[in-house]
Amino acid sequence: MAGPSSFGRYTHAIVRSVPDSLAAQPAGDGVEPVDLAKAHRQYGVYTGILRQKLGLQVIELAADEGLPRSVLVEDAAVIQADTALVTRPWEPARRGEVTRMKVLEELKMRVVEVTDDGATLDGSDVLFTGREFFVGISQWTNHRGAEAVADAFRDFAVSTVPVAGSSHLKSFCSMAGPDTIAIGSSEAAKKAMRTMEQLTDHHYDTLTVPDDPAGNCVYVRLGPKGSALLHRSPEEFPSSLPLFQKLADLTLIPAACSEVAKLGGALSSCSLLINKKLDR
């Protein structure tokens, strides 16, 4: 049986502003282009939630027009306690996002780099449960990338989970509490959940939501104030809201991210959360 949960209380969040070049990025088949004005509004609401409702110190990196997808900042690093593993994106065009994460060193974190040229790793494929890591083996992340996670975080078990299609692991699942996994209802999501259950020694409760994208939420401990769950807005996924409302002792905070979602992003994609007291 796994030991106590290592879910710390987050203190800081790293975000990156929306570049105008985001609007020129090709969306998925049949998906409307990114509405840049709407993307800016959603980003503003999101960062406002991090600051005002979650009480985090937000470190806002400037928009980088040469890296249009860099707003999906979660892909650039995997962070637990004082260790930050900078990743190695599958897309060569995105690797500049990693080299420009100098803020991690400025925050005096232990920064680990993926040194295997054959490895690919996106942070959106890495689910930390507070007890262990699950790494999605996907179009974006391979087994050698998962090995980099295991090398960087030796105090935790690291298991791999096959992910079909063009999704990341966290496209349809995330933590909705210290021992609760939110999971979508697609066959891909169900298969991934069965795999995680087979690989773990710990029992997790599951919250199954009808919409895969709603399975990506952000759980945050608020200390004496309790805990909060940042989830997709009911305007986007009304059928999933009643499921979240069944979670006890959580402050529910809705947020929309429809524009970055057109490029494969999710709520958790828009920030890197840090659970260590830092001097800055």
Tell me, what amino acid is at 253?
A: I
Number of Cβ atoms within 10 Å of the Cβ of 58: 17
pLDDT value, residue 277: 61
Q: What is the largest CA-CA distance in the chain?
A: 48
Q: Specify the higher pLDDT residue, 239 or 6.
A: 239
Q: Report the chain's mean pLDDT, rounded to a whole number.
A: 92
Closest CA to 60 of 124, 21, 99, 13: 13
pLDDT value, residue 2: 46
Q: Six-digit token pair at 239?
A: 């059928």
pTM of the predicted structure, to 2 decimals: 0.94
For 144-185, what is each residue's pLDDT tens digit? 999 999 999 999 999 999 998 889 999 999 999 989 999 999
pLDDT value, residue 26: 76
Across the range 252-278, mean pLDDT stands at 91
Cα 93 to Cα 69, 83, 96, 145, 187: the distances in Å are 10, 25, 7, 18, 31
Across the range 73-82, mean pLDDT stands at 95
Banded pLDDT at 222 (limits 50, 70, 90)? confident
**So what CATH class is 12-274?**
alpha beta
Angle among Cα 216, 220, 226 to the nearest 5 degrees reads 135
pLDDT value, residue 280: 41
Cα 252 to Cα 12, 45, 179: the distances in Å are 20, 15, 17
Number of Cβ atoms within 10 Å of the Cβ of 239: 12
Closest CA to 98 of 86, 83, 113: 86
Q: What's the CA gap between 23 and 259, in Å, rounded? A: 9
pLDDT value, residue 275: 85
Q: What is the DSSP string of 174-243?
A: EEEETTEEEE--SHHHHHHHHHHHHH-SS--EEEE-SSGGGG--EEEE-GGG-EEEEEE-TTT-TTTHHH
Provide φ and ψ at 9, rounded to 5°: -85, 120
